[in-house]
Structure 1
């Protein structure tokens, strides 16, 4: 009967867009992204990539242009004033806070008397991770990856060892290149055992290069005998097993064959007492589109047609053993995983409101045109005649124009200022609805006059939805960043970097700064009273001041300074001076 199917998935909130479900099978319109029709793309990734393209169009004020390509000619006059980008940037700013700091629990007590070796090790790891984060521009990388996660729903980090720099390199990827191989019966929290990063490289006629597909594959599998790079007679790069003097396949350095189990074991530096049977293999290759048959998906591209890439040190990237028992790639989802593996964009719930807002802005622009240059009707005026055509010339209304009207003549002006006022009120109504549904209160968007807020308590209540939004987004990322820092430690151990001892990595996390304005005076007074009364430790008080936004970089060093000055100046306790009520903000420790 030609009925459309009801699609319910992680991107079904875009089903109302004609470009997202233009066919009965749910495949998007060709105008949305012609490359989505490529035969090598997995079918389950088409809608996800189409959603990414549509969200990117909204972020760059190109939604009207995209609708025009899909056949809606009226969308060419669409007004887009950057509201989606504002929502994304505001959410990102509140998510990350003012600061992002690497914290290892227990490191703040390293300077205490009788500190344990574990505490000293935690402080050393914390300092090394912070030095690494500074060298790799971690806050900048986080801004790039998290903005994609907030806008598109997903972000991507890739870690790789750089022997020249002697440290782990951090790189971000567009989630449109991310193609995990997910098992049908796998738990949503399980880490994929095979991940592809793939994209299409267009044809370059000037350089004589054909269109091709590049695929980078990370796969966890059993430890295999050692291999080396070589090139056969056909100049096709590859890897071949290394044979010993007896003609048997040689094992890698430190590997051990277990005859009774029939597998090879390897001991990694982060687990010296637990031999492992798995390792991660890296394959980086390209295929010409002409060599791919219709129906060959990304996961089963023919290896006999592959052109493997070669690393600068001469290693052929064909199942190269990375000597890691994990895939060094971290996927960030914007929302808590509910079984779809992928996250959901911040704009998902307000997409239709953003469309309505753009349409209302378009109507307001049209109404303002007729208000600024009103339509005028003249009766009894004599129009000048064009001597060439013999037709009356159109009348032009300019400042200082005088019309001579006959008896009974009149001038009527079409006043559209009332409609313009209603449209502007409608814009504010829709924007308020969108901010409520997106859990971004007007005060967080900067559209509220501070003088209109009756009290700080009322302001705190209005920020309640934003608090829950930020808490849920940070919860979805907490274990991912802990995993990233764990991988950083392990790869440094595998690369035998200086200062990184063997053993189980120490748990570390990234702490985001406060996302809302805090009453620093009240918190300072609370810390002073709590520390003075002995109900709060000095370390806890310093941590509270850090969370409130005070410029304290290292809590442990700050405690040491306070104690040293207190002992030297013979000030046995923290004192709150009596100050006038008007100088409450000048209290000091």
Structure 2
């Protein structure tokens, strides 16, 4: 009977799109070809990759172009003015804040007079991680990865030890290349024990190369033994007192697309048809033992896990509003054309005759044009200015509606005149939805960046890098800076009054100034400087003789 399928999943908010609805039965729409028609793709990845492609089209102002492939020919005239990209960039800017800083708890006590060895170790590790982040351009790579996460819902980091550089390298991958192998009964929040990074390489006729599939696989498994009945254990530098039987294997291979049969998914590609890559030192990358007991791949989701391994785009809830906005922009553009160059109806005008063809020439209206009208003639002008004004008001209404539903207030998008805000308190209230959005996005990432920094430490230990001692891994986290502008003068006045009145300590006041963006690197050093200056001032005043007045 051709019954329709109703499916609710992480990407069902795109089901209204013809290209996405076609993926309900596992077969992607031809508009998504050739990427999503590859036979090696897992069936459960079709909808995810289709969603990525649709979201990328919106980000690049190509949603109308993509819609023409689904039979909507009128979409070729669609006007797209970058509103989705603005929403993504705004959410990204507030997520990251002005600064990102690596913090190791306990490092702030390293300069105390009675500092413990643990505090000294925490401070040393904090400095090591910050030096690594600077060398590896961590803020720049975070910008690239997090924009993918905000737009598509997911981002992927890959860590690897580089002997030539003597440090861990960090790379970002498009989430469309990420294919974790998830067990049916596993918790979606659990870390997978097998991960593929795979993509298709197009053919190159000039070099005589056919289309290929490259698959980089990381897999946890027992340490290889000399005999089948002998279990091998290994003591890793980060857990010297706990023997482990697990290690991570790396495989990097290519397959010719012509050698793949239908039904062979990414996890089942034939090894006898594989061409394994080799490292510069000649090592074949076929189940290479990395001598670590974890997979050095970190998947970052944009939203808090609610039963799905993958995250959700910031644009998810406002996609239809963005479509309506583009359609209204298109109507407004058409109306502005008839307003700027109005349609004119002439009655009783004598048209000039073309001497060659003997036919009347088309009439055109230009500045200074004069028409001679017969008795009773008239000229009527079609005025569409009222419709244009209504459409422009409709555009603002839809944009405001989309901003509210995306939890990006108009003030955060820069569309509100600051003079229209009655008070700072009213501004703070209007930014409440943005606060909750940023808090939830940062919560979804907190443990992922803690995991990344843990892997950085362990890979340096495995590579026997200088300055990275063996032993337990120290907890480290990535702290994002404030996402909203602050009234620095008001905070300074508050600190001065609070410290002077003894309401809070000088240390608390210094931390408040740090949070407000004042260039204070170390709170304790700043307190020591202020205290030393006050002591010196007091001594000068005591040593100064009292002034006497002449009698």
Give the shorter-chain TM-score range.
over 0.9
Pair 1:336-2:304 in alignment: yes
Name the counterpart of 2:518: 550
Instruction: Please say if residues 328 and 395 of structure 2, whose CA atoms lie closer than 8 Å, have aligned partners that are also in contact.
Output: yes
Equivalent residue for 2:83?
83
Distance in 1 between the 2:344 and 2:481 partners? 59
Distance 1:387 1:357, change over 3 A: same
**Partner Cα distance (2:538, 2:249) in 1:** 62
The 1-side partners of 2:160 and 2:61 are apart by 35
User: How do 1:101-112 residues align onto structure 2 when only pairs under 5 Å count?
Assistant: 101-112=101-112
- Sort the Cα spacing of 1:491 and 1:568 in 2 relative to 1 into closer, same or farther, 3 A: farther
Query: 1:475 is matched with which residue: 437, 443, 467?
Result: 443
- Mapped contact 1:20–1:26 kept (Cα < 8 A): no
Corresponding residue for residue 341 of structure 2: 373
* Conserved? CA contact 2:99–2:480, under 8 Å: yes
How many Å separate the matches in 1 of 2:161 and 2:23? 45
Runs of at least 5 residues in structure 1 that lack an aligned partner in the other structure: 226-247, 250-256, 573-589
Structure 1 residue 3 displacement after superposition: 2.0
CA distances 1:375-407 after superposition (whole Å, capped 9, x unpaired):
000011001122333321110100000000111
Shift of 1:550: 1.4
Quote the residue 1:181 is aligned against.
181
Tell me the secondary structure at the aligned position of residue 478 of structure 2.
strand
Q: Deviations over 1:438-481 (max 9, x none)?
A: 00000000000000000000000000000000000000000000
Residues 104 and 394 of structure 1, relative CA distance in 2, 3 Å threshold:
same
Matching of residues 279-290 of structure 1 within 5 Å? 279-290=247-258
Which residue matches 2:548? none
- SS of the counterpart of 1:123? helix
Q: What secondary structure sits across from 2:308 in the alignment?
A: coil
Partner residue in 1 for 2:281: 313
Partner of 2:165: 165
The aligned counterpart of 1:462 is 430
Matches within 5 A, 1:108-507: 108-225=108-225, 262-507=230-475
Contact persistence 1:32–1:70 (CA under 8 A): no
- CA distance in structure 1 between the partners assigned to 2:531 and 2:111 by the alignment: 11
Aligned-pair CA distance for 1:291? 1.1
Q: Could you state the TM-score of these two structures normalised by the residue count of structure 2?
A: 0.95
In structure 2, what is the equivalent of residue 65 of structure 1? 65
Q: Tell me, in whole angstroms, the C-alpha distance in 1 between the residues paired with 2:23 and 2:470.
A: 56
Describe the shift of the 1:408–1:298 C-alpha distance in structure 2 as closer, same or farther (beyond 3 A).
same
> Aligned in 2, Cα 1:23/1:183: closer, same or farther, shift over 3 Å?
closer
Paired residues, number = 540
Give the secondary structure class of the aligned counterpart of 1:549. coil
Preserved CA contact (<8 Å) 1:4 1:24: no
Aligned residue number for residue 5 of structure 1? 5
Cα deviation per residue 1:488-535 (whole Å; 9 max; x = unaligned)? Answer: 011111111111111111111111111111222232233334444555
How far apart are the structure 1 equivalents of 2:139 and 2:438?
18
Contact conserved, 2:26 with 2:43, CA < 8 A, in 1? no
CA contact (8 A) 1:99 1:513 kept: yes
Moved more, 103-112 or 55-64: 103-112
Provide TM-score, normalisation by structure 1.
0.89
- SS at 1:424 equivalent: helix
Shift of 1:374: 0.2
Secondary structure, aligned partner of 1:221: strand
Shift of 1:24: 6.0
CA change 1:24–1:222 in 2 (3 A) is: closer
Q: Deviations over 1:62-120 (max 9, x none)?
A: 00111112221100100000000000000000000000111111211211111111111
Task: Return closer, same or farther for 1:316/1:534 CA change in 2, 3 Å cut-off.
Answer: farther
Could you say if the C-alpha distance between residues 162 and 558 of structure 1 is closer, same or farther in structure 2, counting changes exceeding 3 Å?
A: farther
- Is the 2:96–2:480 contact (alpha carbons within 8 Å) kept by the matching residues of 1? yes
Equivalent pair of 1:33/1:53 in contact (CA under 8 Å): no
Contact 2:7/2:24 (8 A) holds in 1 = no
Q: Unmatched 5+ residue regions in structure 2? A: 541-551
The alpha-carbon distance between structure 1 residues 221 and 130, as it changes in their structure 2 partners (threshold 3 A), is: same
- Tell me, what secondary structure is at the counterpart of 1:263? coil
Deviations 1:42-61 (A, max 9, x none): 00001100100110000000
Alignment of 1:25-64 (within 5 A): 25=25, 27-64=27-64
Aligned-partner SS, 2:25: coil
Aligned to 1:518: 486
Q: Secondary structure of the residue that 1:20 maps to in structure 2?
A: helix
1:296-324 Cα deviation digits (max 9, x unpaired): 00001111111000011221111111111
